[in-house]
Structure 1
Amino acid sequence: MTVRPTPKLVPFLVAGVLAALVAAVVVVLVTGPSEDYTVAASIGYLTFVLSLATVSVAAGIWLFLERRSRRRTRTYTATRTQNDPS
């Protein structure tokens, strides 16, 4: 039996989107919204644009950690035992 502790991908991607959302809120509140768009539309657009970069970085970090976890792969020998009903 081979056991390898690998990180899950989805939490890294969600963290990337949340980082993009926080950055978008900060940018819109500091610079102010565009005259043509509302605050929510500006935050939504910037979140989408920044998500492209942050999700890519998060996936790269996950890939680095996943490859590094290959060193921690362990192989165990397991034997089946009979269950005694008594």
Structure 2
Amino acid sequence: MLVLFTPTASDRKYVWLEIGMFLGARKRIVGALYGVRKEDISTDQYTPVALKRIDSVELNNIESYFSELAQRVQAWGTPHV
């Protein structure tokens, strides 16, 4: 799951609900940060501990995340359609 973290998104209950469902299912979550810093998330007393531990990337650097993801998929030997 790729979550866009913005100052507004952190106040939306449906965002937390969806994140909670993925955490409960033990699915991988990556946060794309826009207008929010990793330090903001990790020091916010209202942010659940599990969310403070997820991988995150600045939105301006999202291409590097997609490149790394493509390399991991290729390493798994996923057939191309």
Say whether the fold is shared (TM-score over 0.5): no
Q: Which has the higher strand share?
A: 2
Question: Which of structures 1 and 2 has the larger relative contact order (alpha carbons within 8 angstroms, sep 6+)?
Answer: 1
Work out which of the two has the higher radius of gyration on C-alpha atoms and give 1 or 2. 1
Q: Which has the higher helix share?
A: 1
